[in-house]
Amino acid sequence: MSQENVTPDLARERSKATFDVENLAEFMIGGRDRLKRKRFLQNIAIQDPFFKKQKSWSFCSVEEQYDMGLSKSIYIQKKLQEMGITDMQEAFYYRECAAAHENSPLGLHYAMFLPTINKQATPEQKKKWLPLAENYKMIGTYAQTELGHGTFIRGLETTATYDPKTKEFILDSPTLTSKKYWPGCLGKTSNHCVVMAQLYTQGKSHGPHMFMVQIRSMEDHSVLPGIEVGVIGNKFGYGTNDNGFLSFDKLRIPRENMLMRYSQVSRIPRENMLMRYSQVHEDGTYVKPQNAKLAYGSMVLIRSSIVSDAARGLAQACVISIRYSAVRRQTEAYPGGEEPQILDYQTQQYRLFPLLASAYSLQLAGKYVFNTYLEVNDQIEKGNLESMPELHALSAGLKAFSTYEASAGIEVCRICCGGHGYSQASGLPKIYVDVVPGCTYEGENTVMMLQTARYLMKCYSRAKQGQKLPGFVQYIGQNLNKKSCMSEEVALGCLVMAYEHRAARLVEAAAMRMQSLIQGGKKQHEAWNGSSVQLFWAAKAHCHLFCVKNFVDAIQAKSLSSKTVTVMKSVCQLYGVHGILENLGEFMQDGFFSGEQVGYLQRKMLALFENIRPNAVALVDAFDYPDMVLGSCLGRYDGQVYQALYDYAKSAPMNQTEIHSTYYKHLKPLINPETTSDAMQFAKL
């Protein structure tokens, strides 16, 4: 990044750093070569005249945002093809810079539609559809959520009934609440979509399955008969995406349009594979998958990406608010004295530094889940799901934990920027409305936490039976009578121990609550509901423990210099200490901590603020986000905040004319009623 025109405040902040920013940046992204490649690709976007001439996102109407989003998406895709970029991560680096926090109208085509074909289609189906989809002849999305059902997939109402006479499925939306609602890229962009519908064949229901459905003509984009499709209207954010609704009126599609890699209709039963196909009547025979959990791999991949997205959003908000806090000066420390940087106020540090620590922790957590998924993906493809339950439960919980943390944290960052944080010029509102939907899509967060809790209850039961638990969950069922080893030093090992104790106790408390309700005569589902708040607490504590432990393990990497480790140890300690103090009741309820030990933690937190303060700007620099990604007047690398704010204001469309049209329409009749023909009418009102 250019060192030219950097304000004295930011230049001084960077000169105080006690570690090598490049060393930490390389570690966070996965090596020096990857960092160089990221910067190379992002610099191509930064220098491209096409993106420089684009109208500011914040001055666009929703229709203009969608138009700009589609234009950018197509241009980006062409550039990626020209550069021969096929690596998913490299494509992301370029897209992130070219259209930061602008959800592409083609986003679900390559994020959901293509991966679903790859994961769920047969070889014959792939051969038919992938070439068309990869060349954008077929533009697709994924339609699951309905007006009446979202996270509860088994409750979906859209039906797909097999007709053996015509060898077709009949897709129908039998109720108002069965209409597909919210899928991105659906309203105006896609001509195909993968539809999740309840499969009926031979008079029986076989649950939700996936079907390839053409919804618009591939020639003129007109809506096909039997289909109603459109956009759902303005949302809180996501103006660049045409989230839509979709319904079917007894639409017939070929049998071959059911995605049949794992489940089949009118296929040769597996036990009769030696029979000739012609000997089998296509009467709608259903062959269920060998393992119903084979689809979990895709869920883990998607949820790990959501964790990373949330972490990036929080990290970017921290970059903006901490750089701005180093530039902004406010209130004399003493009469006649210089106004201090607001980053020097302990209260500002108390709000921002724990969020900085959270951003690092969540990025490392997302990285772990994604890399673990890649390691076990081959096993999953072969049907070996031994490691899948733990990974699935962790990814579900972390999806909820990270999006909650990031959404709340970004709002705190905005507040910490004062009045300027409320302006779109800060870049923070754009980041917030991009991240906060993650609390809902791909599984509502409370439901995700309870999925994790269900796994934890199974683990607790196994532990009580003396069975050995896998990997990370071995803390469950541990001895709860031991006391904390916490001292003034606040060792990382003692922090991990404290989080293990808290999680183990909350898991046990939830299990005991359920057992008590069942013994009292409640049915299983009633006991679950009656324990769900404690189950939620247990799952949250489990995820929090993972983030702490993973952070501790990560900073011991050999690629980090000793000076970087020293700084990151302070960041890691702050993450753990602040988390305890914010949830103190859960750590003290059974006397695990003494009052004296709580005092250690409080003093340590304040000491850590002092340790981190000289490195605060360097730590956000290490996230390595160029100004084009941040899109913020407040978070600029050079710190030229006030000139940027003024330039932003001057560029507003309403400032392009000295006298706005509304003066003649509304104000002039109000000020001088006698000078206009409307005056009499106005006076009579």
Binding-site positions for FAD: 145, 184
- In the chain, the N- to C-terminal Cα span, in Å, equals 60
β-strand partners of 253: 169
Phi-psi label, residue 6: left if phi above 0, alpha if psi -120 to 50, beta otherwise: beta
Helix (H) or strand (E) holding 227: strand 227-231
> CA 494: distance to chain centroid?
31
Report the alpha-carbon distance of residue 555 to residue 430 in Å, rounded. Answer: 31
β-strand partners of 231: 244
- Letter for the amino acid at 276? R
* Residue among 442, 500, 508, 586 flagged as catalytic: 442
Rounded alpha-carbon distances, angstroms, from residue 132 to 112, 124, 220, 548: 15, 14, 16, 45
| Known binding-site positions | 145, 184
Contact status, residue 428 vs residue 407, Cβ threshold 8 Å: no
- What does DSSP say about strands 244-248 and 180-181: parallel, antiparallel, or unpaired? antiparallel
Q: Where are the beta strands (DSSP E) in 108-184?
A: 140-143, 159-163, 168-172, 180-181
Contact status, residue 343 vs residue 325, Cβ threshold 8 Å: yes
Helix (H) or strand (E) holding 228: strand 227-231
SS3 state at 54: coil
Residue 484 is given by DSSP the state P
Find, among 359, 429, 435, 401, the residue nearest to 623 by Cα.
359
Report the alpha-carbon distance of residue 6 to residue 639 in Å, rounded. Answer: 6
**Could you tell me which residues come within 8 angstroms of residue 524 by beta carbon, excluding any fewer than 6 positions away?**
518
State the burial class of residue 226 (Cβ atoms within 10 Å of its Cβ: 0-12, 13-18, 19+): middle
Number of helices (H), then strands (E), in the chain = 26, 11
Contact status, residue 195 vs residue 143, Cβ threshold 8 Å: yes
- Letter for the amino acid at 437? P
Contact status, residue 402 vs residue 546, Cβ threshold 8 Å: no
**Could you tell me which residues come within 8 angstroms of residue 399 by beta carbon, excluding any fewer than 6 positions away?**
303, 306, 307, 438, 442, 443, 445, 448
| Sheet strands side by side (includes 180-181) | 180-181, 244-248, 227-231
SS3 state at 212: strand
379 φ, ψ (degrees, to nearest 5): -65, -40
Return the number of other C-beta atoms located less than 10 Å from residue 421's C-beta. Answer: 22
- Quick one: tokens of 58? 């914040």
- Alpha helices (H) along 262-345: 296-327
Report the alpha-carbon distance of residue 346 to residue 219 in Å, rounded. Answer: 63
State the burial class of residue 86 (Cβ atoms within 10 Å of its Cβ: 0-12, 13-18, 19+): exposed
- Dihedral angle computed from the Cα positions of residues 591, 592, 596 and 597, in that order, rounded to the nearest 10 degrees: -160
Verify whether residue 146 is a known catalytic residue.
no
Half-sphere exposure at residue 384, Cβ-oriented, CA atoms within 13 angstroms: 8
SS3 state at 35: helix
552 φ, ψ (degrees, to nearest 5): -60, -45
Catalytic sites, residue numbers: 442
